[in-house]
């Protein structure tokens, strides 16, 4: 297998973490998004959205990080990241969809305005966008904070794909300056993720 990724992207880091967690062999190929390497014709044939992460497994190309994570789990029967129970899988999927639709898109505003723009020389952060991002962040961070109260992990009693999906955004909370005050449960939970060997080794 081969995974196209971009090292600081939470979208690809969570896939790399799952590869490590499941101890799967996979070649990692970084694409430099600042140079537009994702627009090369050969890559567009794999992913017409020109986005990382993209996994290639022989003649099968798969994009969307959460789909890739579930597919990787299907290669390791009995793994605890994606347990076979349909209700547990639905619960994990719920958080993965919630990450894409809500929490990740709120965090993404801060990452784009405060990290990507400066790294890619795209000008100053837009404060109006940041204000909109703050409103969205607080709306969904409150849900996460409340859910985590009294829990070590998002679903059940062990780390699952849900934690890697949602937690991946917290790695950029410092550089992107998310408004984290008032969210002690989220910070406690992310410290657990930071201790996971697979998460540590996914920092490329
Ligand atoms: N929902 C997608 C998001 C992927 C995504 O946004 N990738 C960004 C980098 S973080 C990208 O490749 N952007 C390059 C482009 O749009 O040209 C996933 O979870 O895989």
pLDDT above 80 for 155: yes
Q: What is the mean pLDDT of residues 108-125?
A: 96
- CA of residue 102 relative to chain centroid, distance: 13
pLDDT above 80 for 28: yes
CA of 53 to the centre of ligand 1 (A): 7
Closest atom of ligand 1 to 63 CA is: 20
Q: What is the mean pLDDT of residues 186-204?
A: 96
Q: What is the mean pLDDT of residues 60-83?
A: 98
Residues 60 and 154 in one domain: no
Among 35, 53, 74, the domain-final residue is 74
pLDDT above 90 for 61: yes
CA of 175 to the centre of ligand 1 (A): 19
CA of 188 to the centre of ligand 1 (A): 28
87-91: list long-range contacts, CB under 8 Å, 24+ apart.
Answer: 88/155, 88/156, 88/160, 91/155, 91/156, 91/162
85-94: list long-range contacts, CB under 8 Å, 24+ apart.
Answer: 88/155, 88/156, 88/160, 91/155, 91/156, 91/162, 92/154, 92/155, 92/160, 92/161, 92/162, 93/66, 94/162
Q: What is the mean pLDDT of residues 8-20?
A: 97
Among 52, 74, 96, the domain-final residue is 74
pLDDT for 100: 97
Of 47, 22, 26, 25, the residue nearest 37 (C-alpha): 47
Residues 96 and 164 in one domain: yes
* Pocket lining for ligand 1, CB < 6 angstroms: 6, 9, 11, 33, 38, 50-53, 64-65, 100
Q: Are 26 and 17 in contact (CB under 8 A)?
A: no
Closest atom of ligand 1 to 108 CA is: 10
Percent over 70 (pLDDT), the chain: 100
Residues 194 and 111 in one domain: yes
Percent over 90 (pLDDT), the chain: 100
CA of 169 to the centre of ligand 1 (A): 13
CA of 87 to the centre of ligand 1 (A): 29
Residues 52 and 140 in one domain: no
Indicate whether 127 belongs to any domain.
Answer: yes
pLDDT for 121: 92
With the most atoms of ligand 1 within 8 angstroms of its CB, the residue from 30, 51, 122 to mutate is 51
pLDDT for 1: 98
Among 24, 44, 74, the domain-final residue is 74
Domains: count for the chain? 2
pLDDT for 204: 75
Q: What is the CATH number of the domain that holds 37?
A: 3.40.30.10
Q: Which residues fall within 8 angstroms of residue 20, CB to CB, at 6 or more apart?
A: 197, 198, 201, 202
Q: How many helices and strands (H and E) does the chain possess?
A: 10, 4
Measure the CA–CA gap between 87 and 93, rounded to whole angstroms: 10
Closest atom of ligand 1 to 33 CA is: 14
pLDDT above 90 for 64: yes
Range of the structural domain that residue 53 is part of: 2-74
CA of 168 to the centre of ligand 1 (A): 14
pLDDT band at 142; cut points 50, 70, 90: very high
């Amino acid at each position: 297998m081969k995974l196209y990724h971009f090292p600081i992207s939470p979208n690809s880091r969570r896939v790399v973490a799952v590869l490590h967690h499941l101890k799967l062999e996979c070649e990692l190929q970084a694409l430099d998004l600042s140079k537009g390497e994702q627009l090369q014709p050969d890559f567009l044939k794999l992913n017409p959205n020109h986005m990382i992460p993209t996994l290639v497994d022989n003649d099968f190309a798969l994009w969307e990080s959460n789909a890739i994570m579930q597919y990787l789990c299907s290669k390791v029967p009995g793994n605890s990241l994606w347990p076979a129970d349909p209700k547990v899988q639905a619960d994990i999927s719920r958080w993965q969809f919630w990450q894409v639709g809500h929490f990740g898109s709120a965090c993404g505003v801060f990452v784009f305005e405060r990290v990507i723009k400066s790294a890619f020389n795209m000008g100053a952060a837009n404060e109006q966008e940041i204000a909109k991002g703050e409103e969205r962040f607080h709306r969904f961070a409150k849900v996460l904070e409340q859910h985590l109260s009294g829990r070590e992990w998002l679903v059940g009693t062990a780390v699952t794909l849900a934690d890697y999906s949602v937690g991946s955004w917290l790695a950029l909370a410092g550089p992107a300056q998310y408004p984290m005050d008032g969210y002690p449960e989220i910070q406690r939970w992310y410290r657990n993720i930071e201790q996971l060997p697979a998460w540590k080794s996914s920092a490329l």
